[in-house]
Every structure is written in structure tokens, then in C-alpha cells.
Amino acid sequence: MIMALVPAFNESRTIASVVKDLLLYVDDVVVIDDGSVDNTADLARGAGAIVIRHSLNRGQGAALETGHDYARRSNADWVIHFDADGQFMASDIPAALAMIKTSKKDVLLGSRFLGNHQIIPWFKQWFLLPMGRLVDRLSGTVRLSDSHNGFRILGRRALDTIFITQDRMAHATEIPGLIAKYHLTWVEYPITVQYHNFGQGTVGGLKIVRDLLISKFL
Amino acid sequence: MLILFKFLFFIIVLTAVMSVIRRGREGVLGKSGLLFWLLFWFAALIAVLYPGSTQFLAAYLGIGRGADLVFYSAIIALFYLMFRLHIKIEGIQRDVTKIVRQEALKTTIPAPSSSKKTV
């Protein structure tokens, strides 16, 4: 079974089309509504998704781990992390799935930099992303061409091994860290990202560093 | 004026020590915590009643004045307390997440699953 996990917080503008697109390529779409105050949950359900609803906003990492929990109970064979804001292309999924299957890897990580057809804000490309890569290196992650890309595919072994403890955005550093820690095999795959908004800014980056530091003492 | 301040501080320390002992008896505070807070309040009382006492320790540590030693120590203690609070809060946040997750998964209504796709 192929299951897409879509963490969503106030994504009523895009969620229905994202779910419909995903259903063309996967068996189940699980939207984890992370305490939205708009009608994200209703729209997702109406579009055909299974909706898990957090009563409080807990962050993207927490929502993904809730999705992992559900996927483990549902005996999913493959889990796809997919953003709710419409920045990813569901049409990238078949080729990405084919790649992880033929290469027999545990995890596939999306990359904006393996292909050369991306339009990325320059501050993000030349400052925030290199800084993100540096933080990843210092955190002992596997070496990726793209830092903090939300498109991932996890096989069953990875799903049973990767437990996300970072509730907010630091999960994007935690996951490559866990891949390295548990010696999971991985591959990068070029995906298309259409920027509708800027995403993580400098303040967001600093919060990630703070979360990573604090977690060392927990 | 100074005698009044010393008297007031003595009352505050007495109240704090009684509170620490009560929390120790209730089991809220462990043995090491009890000892730490009793020593802390005792040291604070000595420093206020005999201001010259800090001078001795300050000179030993190479700090000019006793008041400076108290000031530096207070800043270090506050930073440490902030750090511990941050960690404590993060721990509580993670517990909240676990509860929210359990509740969410318990109340999830599954949608009809589509046919199994192969790639």
C-alpha cells in the first residue's frame, strides 16, 4: 500500500487540489490537520483523504509522526511525505517510487538541485540553504544536496526505524540524522518545487537551531 | 534603614526555608534539591547579614568587590535557570504532542480506501 502523508495547517486554499492530484498516484492520502482554524479538514475529507485531526497546533514534525503512527498501524508499504501548500508536483511520484524500488533503498529524499529547472529566491539559495546544510552537517546528518526538502519516500524498514521527536521544523534535520544513525540506505531524486511563498526565513532557521540544541539535553 | 532591610530579608528567608522544608516533606523536592535550596538561602542570609563575608570569597576568586561576586553569580544562576526552564518546557511540549496524537488517532474516521496502485 502506498500512503501519502500531508501535514496541513490552514491550507484550505490548496488542500483539495493537492489531495485530488495525489489520489491519482497513491492508494491513500492521509491529511494530518494540525489544529487548523479554517475548513482544511472538511475540504480534505471531501476530496477523498483520510483526515487525522490534531486538536492543537503541534507543528509539522509532530503531524508527520502522527501520520507515521497511522501508517504503521495500517501496514503501509511506502509512505510519501508531501506538502499541503501545492509546491510539490504529485506527477513526480511515479518515477520517484520507481527509483526507490529499483535502487532498493530505504529512503528517497527530494532535491531541488539535482534538476536545473528550479526558480528559488536568491536569498534562500545563497544564504539560507547553505546555512541549513551547515547545520545539517554539524548535526551529523547524511550529506544531501538539498537541505530541508519536504518530499520524501520511506519504505517499511525506514518507517519502523524513523520516529520523529522534533515537533516543529527541525524534523527536516532530524530525519537525515536518523538515516545516518541507523545506517539506512538512501537516494536523492530531483523534484520540481513551485514557490508560492518564501517558506523558512532567517527567524525560522534560528528556531530550528534552537530546537536542535535543546533536544540534546532532553 | 539597613537594619529594616536585613530584618525583612530574614523574614523572607525564613518563609522560603519553611516552604522548602514543607516541599521536601511532601516529596515534591528530592534530597539533593532540598539540600541545594537550604544551602542557597543560608548563603543568601549570610551575605545580607554580614556583607563583608562576600568580600573574602570575591578576593579568593579574583573579583574586586563582594557585591560584584553576588551580581555575577546571580546572572549565571538566572541564565542556568532559563536554560533549565527551556528544557523543561520543551519536555512538556512533547508530552502535549503525545496526548494530542493519541486523541487524534483515537477519533480518526477512515475514508474509503481507493484501489491498490502499483508503480
Angle between helices B66-106 and A60-73 (to 10 degrees): 40
Per domain, the residue ranges of chain B are 8-49
| Dist CA A208 CA A131 (whole Å) | 11
pLDDT at residue number A197: 64
| Dist CA A123 CA A25 (whole Å) | 34
pLDDT at residue number B107: 83
pLDDT at residue number A136: 77
Phi, psi for A155 (deg, rounded to 5): -80, 180
Q: Are A179 and A135 in contact (CB under 8 A)?
A: no
Of A26, A66, A217, the CB nearest to B101: A66
A198/B82: higher pLDDT: B82
**Beta-sheet strand order (sheet of A186-190):** A50-54, A28-34, A2-8, A78-81, A152-155, A107-111, A186-190
- SS3 letters across B48-100: HHCCHHHHHHHHHHCCCCHHHHHHHHHHHHHHHHHHHHHHHHHHHHHHHHHHH
Q: Is the pLDDT score of B114 beyond 60?
A: no
Arithmetic mean of pLDDT, B88-97: 95
Distance, CA of A164 to chain centre: 11
pLDDT at residue number B50: 87
B87/A209: higher pLDDT: B87
Q: Is the pLDDT score of B57 beyond 90?
A: no
B118: pLDDT confidence band, cut at 50, 70 and 90?
low
pLDDT at residue number A200: 65
Q: Is the pLDDT score of B29 beyond 90?
A: no
CB contact under 8 A, A214 and B87: yes
B113: pLDDT confidence band, cut at 50, 70 and 90?
low
Residue of A nearest to B108 (CA): A52
| Chain B residues in contact with chain A using a Cβ-Cβ cutoff of 8 Å | 86-87, 90-91, 93-94, 96-97, 100-101, 103-105, 107-111, 113-117, 119
CB-defined contacts A:B, below 8 A: 76
Give every residue of chain A whose pLDDT is below 50, as ranges: none
Determine how β-strand A78-81 pairs with β-strand A186-190: unpaired
pLDDT at residue number A116: 57
pLDDT at residue number B2: 72
Phi, psi for B114 (deg, rounded to 5): -80, 175
Per domain, the residue ranges of chain A are 2-215
pLDDT at residue number A167: 95
CATH topology of domain A2-215: Spore Coat Polysaccharide Biosynthesis Protein SpsA; Chain A (3.90.550)
